[in-house]
Amino acid sequence: IAGITQAPTSQILAAGRRMTLRCTQDMRHNAMYWYRQDLGLGLRLIHYSNTAGTTGKGEVPDGYSVSRANTDDFPLTLASAVPSQTSVYFCASSEGAGGQIGEQFFGPGTRLTVL
Residues making contact with another protein (CB under 8 A) = 35, 40-45, 48, 58, 90, 97-100, 102-109
CB nearer to another protein: pick between 10 and 80: 10
Question: Measured from the CB of residue 3, what is the shortest distance to another protein in angstroms?
Answer: 10
Question: Measured from the CB of residue 111, what is the shortest distance to another protein in angstroms?
Answer: 9
70: nearest Cα among 54, 58, 93, 57: 54
Contact (Cβ atoms closer than 8 angstroms) between residue 50 and residue 58: no
CB nearer to another protein: pick between 44 and 75: 44
CB nearer to another protein: pick between 64 and 90: 90
From the CB of residue 80, how many other CB atoms can be counted at a distance below 10 Å? 11
